[in-house]
Chains A and B, each alone.
Chain A
Amino acid sequence: MKNLDRRNFLKSSILGAGAAVLAKPAIAATRRTVSGSEIITRKLGNTGLEIPVLSMGVMRADNPNIVKAAMDAGITLFDTAHGYQRGENEVMLGNLFKDYKRDSIIIQTKVPPGDRRNEPSDKSDSEIRQAFLEKFEISLGRLKTDYVDILLQHGAGNREAVLKEPVMDALLQAKKDGKTRFIGLSTHSSEPEVIRAAIEAGIYDVITVAYNFKQDHRAEISSAMADAAKAGIGFIGMKTMAGGFMDQEKTRPVNAKAALKWALQDPHLTTCIPGFTAFDQLQLDTDIMTDLELTPEELQELEISSEVIGLYCQGCLICTGQCSKGLPIPEIMRSYMYAYGYGEMQKARETLDEYGVQENPCAGCTGCTVKCTKGFPVAERIADISRIKNVPFDFLT
């Protein structure tokens, strides 16, 4: 038997990807009113924090008035780092935030685990731990606060970095001392490996992850995020603009609003931190705080086919409990997306296995009781994807 790749599987499918429906997404979220507008908020993993879907990456903003305007617009989470503008970024935020009620703002900062370059360090574990905590103390001083809400290890690029004991010890120590409420890491390379290592580590509350519509491995990231979400880890998206341009010549700017909306279609992403430096960018981005619906025109601008986007289960969970046989519908729809959207056949099968979905799970049902808010033909998709259970795992690619 030949390995069953995406092409062969789709060829033998009754439905195929063409039947995908593009409809209004339903996101698992709540809304709160700011200045008369209903802002969409989401929970950040198990932290208990409920955050608007738009936050601010402050890294390049040297004008505190932009941060003020972002606060007025309802943004509550501000991301900075020990190294941004060599500390001046944290200083600017500290000078501004000292005049605000501390609990009205969520401050996230990032501390590098070692020297800038990815070279082996001759420092002992104790020195690495101490250096990390010293840098963090400097950051607290610049930010003029006794604590931050989220402290991240800056730029973890592989499993080894995530599991580096002296850095984990330092993060835990900072949390124990009440100098940070939550701990985590940021990553913009080997994201799936990093996320899975974070699950393994068992100490991280938050991951700030590069996630955008251009990444070849976005399905893997999405899948890893879904697994980490089960472990209670919350996600914050960065680099959603995918470099800012659609082409290498940099003649066609990315539609920022569309790119943000695209990223936030993933229900496991709580918020994004675009780095706006101008009021008009802020205004444009804040539009998504009340409306995450991707229009066909926006999809076209992102050069994503409507067939593919129509495969996204948003994980709204509204269908939970609707199936008379108790099937895990969102997970089966996710499995369908892996197979038909990304050709990730093994991942599709693993997802079904994980949730105990059997071959022909709808057998015996005379009519489907599930009503998908996105209009997915749920019974047909279950019939299609569950056939993968017939295929020996080793034959899947």
Chain B
Amino acid sequence: MKTRFVFYLFISAAVPLFLIAADTGETGFPKLKGWKLTVSPDVYTPENLWDLIDGAAESYLSYDFIDLHLADYENKGGTVIHVEIYRHNTLDDAFGIYSSERNPGSEFLDIGVQGYRDEGVLNFFTGPFYIKLYSTGSGKEVQESLGSVARAVSGHLGRGNDWPGMLGAFPPEGKLENRDHFVRENFIGLNFLHSAFTAEYEGNYKLFVIVGRDSDEIMEMAAAYLQFTKQDIDPAKESSFIIKDRYNGDIPVVLKGSFMAGIIDGAGNADAHRNLDALVRNLEPLVRNLVDL
């Protein structure tokens, strides 16, 4: 994870997070020996995704969904693997939708950045792509076939295995596996807080970080939040205080340059505060990079 974090810092130094452009790489399905490939002529876009997945489309659209390509692989034994490649705008978006559907109790696999397999299902993400495979068949052979087709698709897309770099800033002490998320909008139900990365810890608390365009945007968010909670606090650019949110409870926050970090459901937890301090320390290099731009 450390290597990926450093890589992220490098990227951050070149391009601000919010300016990373959409990945317009070609979506494609590899040909596989022993499998007949049938690519569907139907390509789904934000306008018609509802036609395929009903109300679930709303979630995908909120993570800057671009398009969806479908294909089937069928082998001589009659096993059919359906593959769906959802293309989103950024790696963060793909991780966001992937993590919103990820069950921490699944069998996790090193496919793409990360994948998991349940009975007849294998999902993974890589770059801006969220890939879902499923089969109506069952048994060991089908489970293995899901894995081999998934690896081939991942290799064909060639987007590597880099996690969203911001995740590397969350301290590992007490951090629960596979319970980190990226929320694209209306973080904790507040429309003035846009996107946030979160991680869950032992003790049932969460840490979060919101990265703004600049410190002014973060100050505006903090001001809007304090207005929402009717608190008479005039925050400085580098400050910490507790937001008393009637819906979400007491939320200790730290403002530092272009980010806001905080604790949810752990205002009275000493471990949570220690980890928040560590998170802020880990974020500081990022902040410097962003401010320098």
A63, closest chain B residue (CB): B189
* Chain A 107-122 interface mask (CB, 8 Å, partner B; 1/0): 0001010011100000
Complex: A110 Cα to B185 Cα, angstroms: 25
**A81-B56 in contact given A86-B101, A86-B103, A189-B51 (Cβ < 8 Å):** yes
B100, closest chain A residue (CB): A85
**A84-B59 in contact given A69-B247, A154-B54 (Cβ < 8 Å):** yes
**A280-B191 in contact given A65-B248, A154-B54, A189-B51 (Cβ < 8 Å):** yes
B118, closest chain A residue (CB): A86
Query: Which residues on B sit within 8 Å (CB–CB) of A66?
Result: 189, 247
A80, closest chain B residue (CB): B55
Complex: A29 Cα to B123 Cα, angstroms: 47
Query: Which residues on A sit within 8 Å (CB–CB) of B70?
Result: 117
Does A188 sit within 8 A of B, measured CB to CB? yes
B58→A275 contact, CB < 8 A: yes
B188→A65 contact, CB < 8 A: yes
**A83-B189 in contact given A62-B100, A62-B183, A65-B248 (Cβ < 8 Å):** no
Does B87 sit within 8 A of A, measured CB to CB? no
In this complex, how many residues of chain B approach chain A with their Cβ under 8 Å: the count is 28
Residue from B54, B58, B134 in contact with A155 in the complex, judged by beta carbons closer than 8 Å? B54
Residues of chain A from 117 to 176 with CB closer than 8 A to chain B in the complex:
117, 123, 154-155
* Chain A 275-318 interface mask (CB, 8 Å, partner B; 1/0): 10111111000000000000000000000000000000000000
**A88-B51 in contact given A117-B70, A275-B58, A277-B185 (Cβ < 8 Å):** no
Does B53 sit within 8 A of A, measured CB to CB? yes
Query: Which residues on A sit within 8 Å (CB–CB) of B188?
Result: 63, 65
* Chain B 25-60 interface mask (CB, 8 Å, partner A; 1/0): 000000000000000000000000011111110110
A280, closest chain B residue (CB): B191
Query: Which residues on A sit within 8 Å (CB–CB) of B185?
Result: 277
- Of B59, B82, B189, B248, most buried by chain A (CB within 10 Å of CB) is B189
Query: Which residues on B sit within 8 Å (CB–CB) of A110?
Result: 54-55
- Of A61, A68, A88, most buried by chain B (CB within 10 Å of CB) is A88
Does A238 sit within 8 A of B, measured CB to CB? yes
Query: Which residues on B sit within 8 Å (CB–CB) of A280?
Result: 190-191
Query: Which residues on A sit within 8 Å (CB–CB) of B58?
Result: 59-60, 275
B54→A65 contact, CB < 8 A: no
B103→A88 contact, CB < 8 A: yes
Complex: A84 Cα to B58 Cα, angstroms: 9
A-B contact count (CB 8 A): 84
Query: Which residues on A sit within 8 Å (CB–CB) of B183?
Result: 62
Query: Which residues on A sit within 8 Å (CB–CB) of B247?
Result: 65-66, 68-69, 279
B136→A115 contact, CB < 8 A: yes
Query: Which residues on A sit within 8 Å (CB–CB) of B134?
Result: 116
Complex: A375 Cα to B82 Cα, angstroms: 58
Does A265 sit within 8 A of B, measured CB to CB? no
B101, closest chain A residue (CB): A86
Query: Which residues on A sit within 8 Å (CB–CB) of B50?
Result: 188
Does B186 sit within 8 A of A, measured CB to CB? yes
Complex: A278 Cα to B185 Cα, angstroms: 9
A83→B52 contact, CB < 8 A: no
Does A232 sit within 8 A of B, measured CB to CB? no
Does B75 sit within 8 A of A, measured CB to CB? no
Residues of chain A from 67 to 98 with CB closer than 8 A to chain B in the complex:
68-69, 81, 83-88
* Chain A 242-285 interface mask (CB, 8 Å, partner B; 1/0): 00000000000000000000000000000000010111111000
A275, closest chain B residue (CB): B58
A81→B103 contact, CB < 8 A: no
A91, closest chain B residue (CB): B103
Query: Which residues on A sit within 8 Å (CB–CB) of B51?
Result: 189
Complex: A88 Cα to B56 Cα, angstroms: 12
A69, closest chain B residue (CB): B247
Residues of chain A from 172 to 210 with CB closer than 8 A to chain B in the complex:
186, 188-189
Residues of chain B from 232 to 289 with CB closer than 8 A to chain A in the complex:
247-248
Query: Which residues on B sit within 8 Å (CB–CB) of A234?
Result: none
Complex: A57 Cα to B101 Cα, angstroms: 17
Does B62 sit within 8 A of A, measured CB to CB? yes
B191→A84 contact, CB < 8 A: no
Query: Which residues on B sit within 8 Å (CB–CB) of A117?
Result: 52, 70, 82
Query: Which residues on A sit within 8 Å (CB–CB) of B136?
Result: 115, 123
A116→B55 contact, CB < 8 A: no
29 contacts between A and B (CB under 8 A): A57-B55, A59-B58, A59-B59, A60-B59, A62-B183, A63-B188, A63-B189, A63-B248, A66-B189, A68-B247, A81-B54, A83-B54, A83-B56, A84-B56, A85-B56, A86-B101, A86-B103, A86-B123, A88-B103, A110-B55, A112-B54, A116-B53, A116-B82, A117-B82, A186-B55, A188-B50, A277-B185, A278-B186, A278-B189
Q: Which residues of A contact B (CB under 8 A)?
A: 57, 59-63, 65-66, 68-69, 81, 83-88, 110, 112, 115-117, 123, 154-155, 186, 188-189, 238, 275, 277-282
The 5 closest A-B pairs by CB, nearest first: A86-B101, A278-B186, A278-B191, A155-B54, A66-B189
Q: Given A115-B136, A188-B54, A275-B58, list of 12 further CB < 8 A pairs?
A: A60-B58, A63-B188, A65-B247, A69-B189, A84-B55, A85-B59, A115-B82, A116-B52, A278-B189, A278-B190, A279-B189, A281-B191
